[in-house]
Amino acid sequence: MSFSIHGDVRLEAAFPLLITHVRGPWNRELTRRWAAVSLPLAHEFAERGAWVGAAVVSESMMCTPEALSLHAQMAERMVAEFGMVAAAHVALPGTEGEKLMHPVFESMFSRLCPYRRFETLEDMRAWGVAQTGARS
């Protein structure tokens, strides 16, 4: 059974940072949309060197189990196949489910690469650039 996309995604490709701006919640369809638009950019970034994947989340960080499974598969691919060296997120004020989902994402990513949560996009950008410099 297929559902409509819950939320939307917009990617900001500013090497070495691939930032997904997402308005959740994440369902399977939104996760597939994100994968479709992010994989070509990840491939381009892989050709340039180490990079960091990040998300700026608004409205809801909640994920369906299917979406979470797809997200984990994508995280593994981004690290193993496309050279992502770290991951981070910023949850905008009032984002539903951030306290619940942060430990889930931390567990998912920290077994693959360094992972951090930030209060501001500026702090996340500085950390992300530092992560790529440490691995260049």
**Domain chopping of the chain, boundaries:** 8-125
Task: Output the pLDDT for position 136.
Answer: 43
Residue 20 pLDDT grade (very low, low, confident, very high; cuts 50, 70, 90): very high
CA angle 36, 34, 45 (to 5 degrees): 70
Distance of CA 90 to the CA centre of its chain: 10
Residue 53 φ then ψ, to 5°: -100, 135
Q: Give pLDDT tens digits for 43-66.
A: 999 999 999 999 999 999 999 999
Residue 97's CB is within 10 A of a number of other CB atoms, namely 18
Q: Look-up: residue for tokens 């950390």?
A: 127
Stated as kind and residue range, the H or E segment containing 31 is: helix 28-48
Q: What angle do CA 15, 126, 11 make, to 5 degrees?
A: 40
Place of tokens 């308005």: 23
pLDDT of 7 reads 81
pTM for the model: 0.91
CATH classification of 8-125 is 3.30.750.24, yes or no? yes
Q: What is the pLDDT of residues 65-114, one digit of tens each?
A: 999 999 999 999 999 999 999 999 999 999 999 999 999 999 999 999 99
Tokens representing 109 are 């990513």
Q: What is the pLDDT of residues 33-44, one digit of tens each?
A: 999 999 999 999
Distance in angstroms (rounded) separating the CA atoms of residues 57 and 83: 23
Tokens of 8: 């939307």
Backbone dihedral angles phi then psi of residue 83, each to the nearest 5 degrees = 75, 20
